[in-house]
Every structure is written in structure tokens, then in C-alpha cells.
């Protein structure tokens, strides 16, 4: 007998028929002899609507009351799913976050799970009940409802799987797995059978929006095996697991891209110790996340150029901040561009094989695509390109690394 956590996202519980369909999937898993806990999101569109209500009442609303409002979507779906399961003759019961309880810190709107009490859930499951748990929510240190940030029910599911010591956490969604790249751009994109936590983390954070990034971090930390699969078709999905579990390792497993990038170059800043700190300090204080950074050598040791990227949502704010500090920083001018895209090649194989980056550069060169900024990590090479080249670059790289489906 295995213990399994099944998680269903918003589209999977989008209407009553779909909820009944989910109940049938759960029943099957249960009747195969498994202990089952189910985590659900709100019905698709509901959380957006709730967020909008808060904004309409007050654009700058109290974060604690916002959590009270936006967490309600999940309360509806746990109740409905428990009813649907009972209709199928199963014993099922729902739990909100505070009933479990799922304890979090007090960062309302983006709380982190600290602990989950599992005694009651385990007793129920061992007694043949199906535990239906609300995703996205928990309870803070002051006994107030918290939420985990948008897309947070993935994290609820993985955290619950870790706490319950589950054999697997199955994330049912509207795609049937993790692909080598975005299938809307590359028709020959392939579904991966397995992907390591590290690679998935890079894919998740550079724009393949299958799993909330935090849920992958949590899975990696607690070694939870996560399977991403379709709630509409019955076929195996992609297993996110330990590197050791992957027998046929690929040099490169995926090409990701993110249009959520904007480039800023600070031209002719005095090249002295502390200049980077004084440029990036105010940005960090204003919660502007800086991604890629390059600094040129200065020929005469006096001035240098500093180029970096921020997310598009922070672009205007970053420029305003730098303009404010112009006198203090002593640079000549700013050059900005938000028509850029970050394209990344990801693969564990890079750790042991040379030439992966070189292949990327030569492939882009052959297509006449200019690289503006480069950054690398142990298992990733990212380049910043003109946005118009997104499709061309992703397709060319996908072929160059032999990822195209036959
Ligand atoms: N319902 C929440 C949201 O839409 C949480 C989730 O779906 O994961 O963000
Ligand atoms: Mg989601």
C-alpha cells in the first residue's frame, strides 16, 4: 500500500462536472489500495475575482483581511469534492488549512509553511477515509488565516506530502507533463519522462509555468517525488525526482525563455570600490529583483558601464530610482530596453561536459542573432536577446541540442 497526495489545480476543478471527474480519479487511486490525501485549488477564475473584490473596496487593503477573502475559494472546492466523493460511496472529509492545522509564518499574502500537524489526517487515512485539504492557505502565529502566494496550492501539496511521508505527490493540471520547451513555440517539443529537482527549479523559475517555484524548492529539500500529469487524460506524466533516479541522463534537458525581462545600462559610472553596492542597494531596498548583471572593465580605470536586467513590472520603478540617485552615483546616462527576452539552456550534463555554452553561442550566431548579456550557473546558460528573436532562437537551440521529437 502506498500513500499518495493528489493535487488538482483550478482548471481541473473548474466546474461541477470536472469536480465529479476528479472524484472518479481519486476513487481509482483509493481502490488500487492506496491511502489518499487530496489537495485542491479554487475553481479557475475564482481567486482572481476575490483579489479584485479586495482591490475594489480598497486598493491598499489590509493584508490579513485579504487572506481571509482570497482563501475562501479553496473552502468551496474541498467541500464540493468531499460531497462528490461521498456520492461515489467513499468516506471523505474536508479540512481547511486552520483545521489541519497548517502553520505558517505571518507574511500575509506570501506566507511560508512552518509545520503541518498530521496526526488527525493520518488517523483518518489509516481508517480508510479520504482527506481533502484546502491548498493555498494556512494559519499564522496570531491565529489568523494566511495564504501562500498565487499558485501556492502546489506548495501546499508538496508540503503535505513531505509531512505525511507520502510515496508520491501527483500534481494534476491542464498540461500533461513537463516539456523540453514550450510546445506552443516548438511543435516538436517532447514530454520528459523524468527531470531532476535542480533542472525543474531552473525551468520553473525561467518561465515554464508548470509548478510554483517554491513547491519545487520544497520537493527538493524534502526529497518528495512529484509527478506532473493531466487531469483530463489518463497517461503518465513527468516525474520530478532525484538525479540518481534518472538513468538516461540528457546533456541538455530543456530550453526555457522568459519575456519578463527589461534591460538597464548605467553608462560611465565612476569605477571605484562600492559602486555596485550603491547602484544595487537602493534597488534591493525597494524590492526590485535584479537578475543578470555585467560590468565592463574600464580601460582607464576611471569609468565603467553596468548592465543588468529586472522584471518588466519593476522597470519603471528601477529607472525612477536610478534617476533619483543620479547625482550621488555620478553616472553619465541610462540606456534602457524592455524589448528583450532571456533564453536559457538547462541541463545537468553541463557539469561534466564542456562545450554546451559554445554550442549555444554558435547556434545563435548562425541565425544572425546578437547576444546582449550572458549569465551562467552550474546547470544553466542564459542569454539576453532582442525579443523579436524569441521563436527563432528557441527553435534553433531545441534542434541543435537534439531535443526535437522524431
Ligand atoms: N487559488 C490560488 C491561486 O489561484 C492558489 C492556486 O491555485 O494554487 O493562486
Ligand atoms: Mg497552478
Tell whether ligand 1 has an atom less than 6 A from the beta carbon of residue 259: no
Task: Assess contact for 184 and 240: CB atoms under 8 A.
Answer: no
377 close to 337: Cβ distance less than 8 angstroms = no
Distance 152 CA to ligand 2 centre (A): 7
Asked if residue 362 has pLDDT above 80, the reply is yes
Residue 331: helix, strand or coil by DSSP?
coil
Measure 49 CA to ligand 1 centroid, in angstroms. Answer: 12
Give all domains of the chain, ordered by start, each with its CATH number: 3-174 (3.40.1160.10)
Question: Could you identify the atom of ligand 1 that is nearest to the CA of residue 154?
Answer: 8
Average pLDDT over residues 206-210: 69
Gap between the Cα atoms of 179 and 210, Å rounded: 10
CB of 152 closer than 6 angstroms to any ligand 1 atom: yes
CA–CA separation, 372 and 118 (whole Å): 50
257 has pLDDT over 80: yes
Our answer on whether the CB atom of 148 is closer than 6 Å to any ligand 1 atom is no
- Which residues touch 51 (CB under 8 Å, ≥6 apart)? 66, 70
153 lines ligand 1 (CB under 6 A): yes
* Cis-peptide into 122, omega within 30 deg: no
- Closest residue CA from atom 4 of ligand 1: 47
What does the alpha-carbon distance between residue 313 and residue 326 come to, in Å, rounded to a whole number?
A: 22
Strand-strand pairing, 226-230 and 168-173: parallel
23-54 pLDDT tens trace: 999 999 999 999 999 999 999 999 999 999 99
Q: Is 135 in the pocket of ligand 1 (CB under 6 A)?
A: yes
Q: How far is the CA of 211 from the centre of ligand 2 (A)?
A: 6
3-state secondary structure of 84: helix
pTM exceeding 0.85: yes
pLDDT digits (tens, 9 = 90+) for 151-188: 999 999 999 999 999 999 999 998 889 999 998 899 99
Q: What is the mean pLDDT of residues 259-288?
A: 93
Ligand 1 atom at minimal distance to the Cα of residue 74: 1
How close is the Cα of 330 to the center of ligand 2, in Å? Answer: 45
Nearest CA to ligand 1 atom 9: 150
Could you tell me the sign of the dihedral formed by the alpha carbons of 183, 192, 202, 357, in that order? negative
Is 136 a pocket residue for ligand 1 (Cβ < 6 Å)? Answer: yes
Task: Please classify residue 276 by burial: count the beta carbons closer than 10 Å to its beta carbon, then call 0-12 exposed, 13-18 middle and 19+ buried.
Answer: middle
Q: What is the mean pLDDT of the chain?
A: 94
Look at residue 354 and tell me whether its pLDDT is greater than 90: no
- Whole-number pLDDT of residue 121: 98
What pLDDT sits at residue 130? 98
Distance CA 158, CA 102 (A): 13
Count other C-beta atoms under 10 Å from residue 320's C-beta.
11
- As residues whose CB is below 5 A from the ion ligand 2, the structure lists 9, 151
CA angle 28, 31, 32 (to 5 degrees): 85
Cell of residue 182, nine digits: 514550450
pLDDT in the model for residue 207: 59
Q: How confident is the model at residue 206 (pLDDT cuts 50, 70, 90)?
A: low
**Is the shortest distance between the CB of 14 and ligand 1 below 6 Å?**
no
Task: Report the distance separating Cα 265 and Cα 294, nearest Å.
Answer: 9
Region 334-361 average pLDDT: 93
Distance from C-alpha of 42 to C-alpha of 151, rounded to nearest angstrom: 10
**Order of strands, edge to edge, in the sheet holding 113-116?**
113-116, 102-104, 137-139, 145-147
Of 19 and 175, the structure prediction assigns the larger pLDDT to: 19
Element (H, E) at 380: strand 380-386
Three-class DSSP category at 356? helix
Q: If you write DSSP's letter for every residue of 246-287 in order, what string do you get?
A: -SS--S--EEEEE---EEEEEEEEE--TTHHHHHHHHHHHTT
Which residue has the least CA distance to atom 8 on ligand 1?
Answer: 151
Amino acid at each position: 500500500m502506498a500513500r499518495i497526495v493528489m493535487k488538482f489545480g483550478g482548471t481541473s476543478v473548474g466546474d461541477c462536472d470536472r469536480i465529479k471527474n476528479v472524484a472518479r480519479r481519486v476513487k481509482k487511486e483509493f481502490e488500487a489500495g492506496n491511502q489518499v490525501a487530496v489537495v485542491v485549488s479554487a475553481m479557475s477564475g475564482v481567486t482572481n475575482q476575490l483579489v479584485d473584490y479586495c482591490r475594489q473596496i480598497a486598493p491598499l487593503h489590509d493584508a490579513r483581511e485579504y487572506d481571509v477573502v482570497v482563501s475562501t475559494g479553496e473552502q468551496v472546492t474541498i467541500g464540493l469534492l468531499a460531497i462528490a466523493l461521498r456520492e461515489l460511496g467513499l468516506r471523505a472529509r474536508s479540512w481547511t488549512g486552520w483545521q489541519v492545522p497548517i502553520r505558517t509564518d505571518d507574511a500575509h499574502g506570501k506566507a511560508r509553511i512552518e509545520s503541518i500537524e498530521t496526526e488527525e489526517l493520518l488517523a483518518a487515512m489509516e481508517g480508510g477515509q479520504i482527506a481533502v485539504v484546502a491548498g493555498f492557505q494556512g494559519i499564522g502565529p496570531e491565529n489568523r488565516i494566511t495564504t501562500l502566494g498565487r499558485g501556492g496550492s502546489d506548495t501546499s501539496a508538496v508540503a503535505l506530502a513531505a509531512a505525511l511521508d507520502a510515496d508520491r505527490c501527483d500534481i494534476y493540471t491542464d498540461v500533461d507533463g513537463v516539456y523540453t520547451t514550450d510546445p506552443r513555440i516548438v511543435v516538436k517539443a517532447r514530454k520528459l519522462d523524468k527531470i531532476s529537482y535542480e533542472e525543474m527549479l531552473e525551468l520553473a523559475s525561467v518561465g515554464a509555468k508548470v509548478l510554483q517555484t517554491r513547491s519545487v524548492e520544497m520537493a527538493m529539500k524534502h526529497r518528495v517525488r512529484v509527478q506532473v500529469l493531466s487531469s483530463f487524460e489518463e497517461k503518465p506524466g513527468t516525474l520530478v525526482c532525484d538525479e540518481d533516479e534518472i538513468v538516461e541522463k540528457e546533456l541538455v534537458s530543456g530550453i526555457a525563455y522568459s519575456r519578463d525581462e527589461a534591460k538597464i545600462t548605467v553608462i560611465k559610472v565612476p569605477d571605484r570600490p562600492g559602486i555596485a553596492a550603491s547602484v544595487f542597494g537602493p534597488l534591493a531596498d525597494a524590492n526590485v529583483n535584479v537578475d543578470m548583471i555585467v560590468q565592463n572593465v574600464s580601460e582607464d580605470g576611471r569609468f565603467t558601464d553596468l548592465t543588468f536586467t529586472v522584471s518588466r513590472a519593476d522597470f519603471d520603478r528601477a529607472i525612477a530610482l536610478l534617476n533619483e540617485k543620479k547625482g550621488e552615483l555620478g553616472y553619465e546616462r541610462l540606456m534602457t530596453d524592455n524589448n528583450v527576452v532571456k533564453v536559457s539552456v538547462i541541463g545537468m550534463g553541463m557539469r561534466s561536459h564542456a562545450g554546451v555554452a559554445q554550442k549555444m553561442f554558435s547556434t545563435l550566431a548562425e541565425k544572425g542573432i546578437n547576444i546582449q548579456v550572458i549569465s551562467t550557473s552550474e546547470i544553466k546558460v542564459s542569454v539576453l536577446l532582442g525579443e523579436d528573436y524569441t521563436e527563432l532562437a528557441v527553435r534553433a537551440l531545441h534542434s541543435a541540442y537534439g531535443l526535437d521529437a522524431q
